[in-house]
Amino acid sequence: MPEHHIIILQIGPANPIIAWTIALAAIALIFPVIIRYYVKGSPQFIPSFVKLTYDYRRILEKHALYYQRLSPENKRKFVERVYIFIRSKTFIPRRFKKVTLEMKTLIAASAVQLTFGFEKFEMPHFTKILIYPDTYYSLIRKAYHKGEVNPAARLVVFSWKSFIEGYQNPYDSKNLGLHEMAHVLKLENKVLKNEVAFLDPDLYKKWEKMAAQHIERLKQGPDLLFRRYAAENEYEFFAVAIEIFFERPFSLRAIHPEIYALLKGLLKQDPILIQQLESEETFIAERKVV
């Protein structure tokens, strides 16, 4: 038997201190990994996470401007949340075969963007996401739809064509993904009121009061930023305001500073700061869209 084998065999029983040290070191290394995954839900050490996040990053870098402008640290947080969101929802294709990774990633990205300021971000009441290739006819409302949320069925519905149109112009304050997710957020807040209040109750009271005034004003005449649809009801006002908040933050801050300030407080994020926006450049881009 070669000499080094004998030496190795002798180490174990002859040096219990070394054996214990190695064992404890191994436990110390593995323990935080287990804790991190099970307690915080971080998927960093799941092998598929590495492969999937590479694909998510590729898709986000191509289509999601908000993601592209984040700091490296926030990008990591964003991708991790996209991963968790996708794992926690069921995506159902309607009138086509298979929901692609791009569809899942961008739908998740709209939810993650909206809730990026929160610690709890999964919106657990809504478990299913239904996707149609184009606008679809709603038998209940007897009209063609681009998207809707159905709290009773725990469902969010999108027309993929309309969803992707929302990302084509990032400054026109039209983004179906953010719009529907804003409805989801508000409904989640209602459902989970006693457990996790997403939206600060005091700020939300202020918001409701202010929204009612703006809705009345919008019914009287046009606004520089808000489309008329926002005057339908408080839900639509909230959803449209969120589209503007993210797509034209400089304009909203300049024209309706009180709306900007309240949304910033409610969502716990400032799109200008978090995206590290250069005022001049973005404001000019925003103003080109009329």
Q: Which residues bind Zn ion (CB under 5 A)?
A: 236, 239
Q: How far is the CB of 188 from Zn ion (least distance, A)?
A: 15
For residues 236 and 286, which CB has a smaller minimum distance to Zn ion in the complex? 236
- Name the burial class of residue 9, with classes exposed (0-12), middle (13-18) and buried (19+) by CB atoms within 10 angstroms of its CB: exposed
Distance CA 189, CA 207 (A): 14
**Residue 150: DSSP 8-state:** E
Q: How far is the CB of 147 from Zn ion (least distance, A)?
A: 8
Q: How far is the CB of 25 from Zn ion (least distance, A)?
A: 56
| 75 contacts: CB under 8 Å, gap ≥ 6 | 57, 67
For residues 242 and 252, which CB has a smaller minimum distance to Zn ion in the complex? 242
For residues 52 and 178, which CB has a smaller minimum distance to Zn ion in the complex? 178
Q: How far is the CB of 204 from Zn ion (least distance, A)?
A: 18
Q: How far is the CB of 239 from Zn ion (least distance, A)?
A: 5
Q: Do residues 217 and 150 lie in contact, with contact meaning Cβ atoms separated by under 8 Å?
A: no
For residues 184 and 239, which CB has a smaller minimum distance to Zn ion in the complex? 239
**Residue 136: DSSP 8-state:** E
Distance CA 221, CA 127 (A): 39
| 70 contacts: CB under 8 Å, gap ≥ 6 | 78, 274, 275, 276
Nearest position to Zn ion, beta carbon? 239
Q: Other C-beta atoms within 10 Å of 229: how many?
A: 12
Distance CA 210, CA 226 (A): 14
For residues 113 and 162, which CB has a smaller minimum distance to Zn ion in the complex? 162
| 97 contacts: CB under 8 Å, gap ≥ 6 | none
Q: How far is the CB of 242 from Zn ion (least distance, A)?
A: 10
Distance CA 159, CA 108 (A): 15
For residues 52 and 239, which CB has a smaller minimum distance to Zn ion in the complex? 239
Q: How far is the CB of 171 from Zn ion (least distance, A)?
A: 20
For residues 84 and 181, which CB has a smaller minimum distance to Zn ion in the complex? 181
| 191 contacts: CB under 8 Å, gap ≥ 6 | 125, 151
